[in-house]
Amino acid sequence: MTQHYHPDLLAPFLALPQGDKIQAEYVWIDGDGGLRSKTTTVTKKVTSINDLRVWDFDGSSTNQAPGNDSDIYLRPAAIFKDPFRGGDNILVLAECYNNDGTPNRTNYRYHAKKIMDQVKELEPWFGIEQEYTLFDMDGTPYGWPKGGFPGPQGPYYCGAGAGKVFARDLIEAHYRACLYAGINISGINAEVMPSQWEFQVGPCEGISMGDHLWMSRYLLVRIAEQWGIKVSFHPKPLQGDWNGAGAHTNYSTKAMREAGGLKAIEAAIEKLATRHDEHIAVYGEDNDLRLTGRHETGHIGSFSSGVANRGASIRIPRHVASQGMGYLEDRRPASNIDPYRVTGIIVETTCLL
């Protein structure tokens, strides 16, 4: 490990009283789909985003603005509890705006929010299965033999036991940190490729899906930093016979969740079929390396759907088909999606066209 944390040295300082002041960590999405954050002291306990100021940062250092006009505004959008500092300290997910008041090019939340506001009464719910891969600081998958490979895929998915799972302590820490923060995390599992994991967030209504997923990713990369482990959201982190990483997006409206909702699910799938290319365009970079038609994916070039079919673009879970209501699973989104873009286009296609 090339990077060292000193939790024993830090602990007594974190235990010091901090008076009436709290620390607010503003988190935002940068010009390359990464996460950035910085802290400000707030003079009293925060109960709503209206208690927080609009802040700014140097967008020329994050690929979000030119140097001669570099100030980007951070407008608070959602608050979570801070599992690193504890107490009343908070994490603030913020949207990026240019100085003329227009949304920064990286601000997909702005556009998704407009779409979600139009369909409030349809109550769109989402659940995203975030897959990701862990790497050592030297660039090899975490826990893999140096200069070699572990045995072929098979024993690792939902595995238990030494040699089958890697970094379970890190994954446990992340799960509990998400629960503490107020993120609607619904589960975790080890994936098919060793050192690849998944967590699920949802069901979340409307715009909150993106808020919760982005903040859960932030917690993951912050915690992994303490372990000296790198998190990759690349959809095909390793060439060859190793599974890629996706972000299956489960989706329902109120009508789909009610008795006979399968009709509404089928109608939505018909609409999705007409806009395959438009969806693929916002379903993640390098997704062509993953959607090959192998490794439990449908081919990127064609749309397909089916009950319990993990080789299709859209899967209707078996239990949904048998109950005649529930939700659909869009299996196309890659692990590196911006969830605001994905949830936005799903609602646009199925509810607004």
Residue numbers of the site for Mn ion (CB under 5 A)? 129, 198, 248
Tell me if the bond preceding 155 is cis, omega within 30° of 0.
Answer: no
Q: What is the dihedral of CA 33, 276, 304, 285, to 10 degrees?
A: -20
Q: Which of Mn ion, ligand ADP, none does residue 31 bind (CB under 5 to 8 Å by kind)?
A: none
Task: Decide if residue 199 touches ligand ADP (CB under 6 A).
Answer: no
Nearer to ligand ADP, 28 or 156 (CB): 156
Residues 257-276 that bind ligand ADP (CB under 6 A): 257
Tokens in use for 73? 């505004």
Give dist(CA 5, CA 247) in Å, integer: 30
Tokens in use for 98? 């240019």
Nearer to Mn ion, 117 or 172 (CB): 172
Q: What angle do CA 27, 82, 171 make, to 5 degrees?
A: 90
CB of 328 to ligand ADP, least distance (A): 8
Helix (H, G, I), strand (E, B) or coil at 88: coil
Size (the chain), residues: 353
Q: For residues 25 and 39, is the Cβ–Cβ distance under 8 A?
A: yes
Q: For residues 22 and 90, is the Cβ–Cβ distance under 8 A?
A: yes
168: enclosing H helix or E strand:
helix 168-181
Task: Decide if residue 210 touches ligand ADP (CB under 6 A).
Answer: no
Nearer to ligand ADP, 162 or 259 (CB): 259
CB of 18 to ligand ADP, least distance (A): 35
| Of the residues 150, 206, 210, 326, which one makes contact with ligand ADP according to CB under 6 A | 326
Span interacting with ligand ADP, options 23-31, 81-89, 216-224, 249-257, rule CB under 6 A = 249-257
**One character per residue 46-85, x = contact with ligand ADP (rule: CB under 6 A):** ----------------------------------------
Residues 88-117 that bind ligand ADP (CB under 6 A): none
Q: Which of Mn ion, ligand ADP, none does residue 339 bind (CB under 5 to 8 Å by kind)?
A: none
Orientation angle between helical segments 108-118 and 208-227, nearest 10 degrees: 140
Between the alpha carbon of residue 4 and those of residues 137, 202, 225, 227, the distances in Å are: 12, 33, 9, 8
Nearer to ligand ADP, 96 or 268 (CB): 268
Q: What angle do CA 78, 79, 82 make, to 5 degrees?
A: 145
Tokens 């449908």 found at: 298
209: enclosing H helix or E strand:
helix 208-227
Could you give the count of Cα atoms lying within 13 Å of 218 in the half-sphere of its Cβ? 27
Task: Decide if residue 200 touches ligand ADP (CB under 6 A).
Answer: yes
Span interacting with ligand ADP, options 69-77, 89-97, 282-290, 321-329, rule CB under 6 A = 321-329
Q: Please say whether the dihedral angle defined by the alpha carbons of residues 283, 288, 293 and 295, taken in this order, is positive or negative.
A: negative
Residues 118-137 that bind ligand ADP (CB under 6 A): 125-127, 129
Nearer to ligand ADP, 33 or 317 (CB): 317
**What is the number of the residue whose Cβ is closest to ligand ADP?**
127
Span interacting with ligand ADP, options 93-101, 225-233, 251-259, 337-345, rule CB under 6 A = 251-259
**What is the number of the residue whose Cβ is closest to Mn ion?**
248
Span interacting with ligand ADP, options 172-180, 224-232, 280-288, 322-330, rule CB under 6 A = 322-330
| Of the residues 329, 330, 338, 348, which one makes contact with ligand ADP according to CB under 6 A | 329
Span interacting with ligand ADP, options 81-89, 143-151, 258-266, 324-332, rule CB under 6 A = 324-332
Give dist(CA 79, CA 175) in Å, integer: 18
Nearer to Mn ion, 88 or 198 (CB): 198
Give dist(CA 38, CA 28) in Å, integer: 9
Between the alpha carbon of residue 58 and those of residues 40, 71, 103, the distances in Å are: 15, 5, 16
Residues that bind ligand ADP (CB under 6 A): 125-127, 129, 186, 200, 202-203, 248, 250-252, 257, 326-327, 329
